[in-house]
Amino acid sequence: MKISSNQYYEVLTKQLAKQQESIGELQTQLATGKKTAVPSSDIESSLEGLSIKSVLQRQSAYETNLSYVKDRLTIEESVVTSFQDYVYRLKDLAITASSGTFSDEDIGFMKAEAEGVLEELISLSNSRDSQNSYLFSGTATNVQPFQKQADGSIAYKGNSAELNIQVDSGYEVQINSSGINLVGQVERITGGNPKNLDIFAITKDFIAALGTNTKADISRSIDEFDELGNQVGGQIANLGIRQNLLEERLEIIEEKKTVYEQLLSNIEDTDYSEAITSLSSDMLALEAAQNTFAKVTQMSLFNFLR
């Protein structure tokens, strides 16, 4: 079988083009830091990369949700802690006023302070989060939860439904606390009839008792404020547990993102050491092929005639 000069020329031309293409791809990888300049050059890897990017986007969305919940719970914890402080301040006032060692003028000052505390409690119960949503309205986040009525009482206008947000695939966390739980509930028996009262009703009764300096009613408030303070303390503990769970979920998401980012890097990013080695090898091979090509194209019968 004879091989013509044209066949040599065609084969060498194809080899040169192939090596130049390989060198071009390696140079592009080194310039861009990516293994493939366009998705069509490696469809399988591109599809795998898109899938991982989709997972990373979801993890980032979960992380955003978690950060919002974390901020909300931090605000709520601050509000509830202040709420408890005010309840215990009312208890201290009740203890002081019930001692019988203070003048009517002093009791009047205590009454004025209790009235101020009541306003602070109402204000705290209507607190909002960073997105201007009410903290204690349940799912009715645009409704002011505690509103003064014509008779001076404080009515709850929210609901007790849970507000949940997705923070991972198939995993949700509750981000709200019921306003009903915040203001507490204490059973008072009057004339043999039980009645459940919240912090606002008890405080208003305490203020009225201070106004008349009725020691029995003032003393009754001591235990009621103590019980309400303990109820609020339970909410603070619950908030702490929920915040710890969120911290754990944030750590899990960060770990997931690290794993997926490494997988994506393995698919998309250039291995510079490997690429430089391959480029050097291909450059040498191209140089050798070019030398061979030059010699073949210069060959003729006259080279062998003497």
Q: Indicate whether 234 belongs to any domain.
A: yes
**Cβ contact 136:179 at 8 Å:** yes
Extract the tokens encoding 216. Answer: 């029995």
Q: Are 147 and 154 spatial neighbours (Cβ–Cβ below 8 Å)?
A: yes
Q: Note the pLDDT of residue 23.
A: 58
> For residue 130, which phi and psi values (nearest 5 degrees)?
-65, -15
Residues 6+ apart with CB under 8 A from 243: 70, 73, 74, 77
110 occurs within a structural domain: yes
Q: How far apart are CA 237 and CA 184, in angstroms?
A: 15
DSSP 158: S
User: What is the rounded CA–CA span in Å between residue 151 and residue 153?
Assistant: 6
List, in sequence order, every residue forming a beta bridge with 164; answer none if it has no partner.
Answer: 174
Distance CA 229, CA 80 (A): 10
| Location of structure tokens 């004025």 | 112
Q: Encoding tokens for residue 127?
A: 């607190």
d(CA 176, CA 163): 6
CATH number assigned to the domain comprising residue 246: 1.20.1330.10
Domain membership of residue 26 (yes or no) is no
Strand partners, 195: 188
Q: What is the pLDDT of residue 186?
A: 94
DSSP string, 47-92: HHHHHHHHHHHHHHHHHHHHHHHHHHHHHHHHHHHHHHHHHHHHHH
Please tell me the pTM assigned to this model: 0.70
Q: What is the DSSP string of 240-301?
A: HHHHHHHHHHHHHHHHHHHHHHHHHHHHHB--HHHHHHHHHHHHHHHHHHHHHHHHHHH--G
Residue 133 forms part of a structural domain? yes
Residue ranges of the chain with per-residue pLDDT less than 70: 1-47, 49, 169, 264-306
Judge whether 46 lies within some domain: no
Confirm whether 159 is domain-assigned.
yes
Does a structural domain hold residue 286? no
Number of domains in the chain: 1
Q: Does residue 119 fall inside a structural domain?
A: yes
Residue from 117, 267, 270 nearest 200 by CA: 117
The pLDDT of residue 43: 62
What is the per-residue pLDDT for 301?
44
If we measure between CA atoms, which residue out of 236, 264, 209 comes closest to residue 54?
Answer: 264
DSSP letter at 217? H
CA 289 – CA 14 distance, rounded (Å): 11
The predicted pLDDT at position 302 comes to: 45
- Please, what sign has the CA dihedral across residues 279, 282, 288, 290? negative
Task: Identify the pLDDT of residue 115.
Answer: 97
Parent domain of 78:
54-262
Q: How far apart (Å, rounded) are the C-alpha atoms in residues 236 and 168?
A: 25
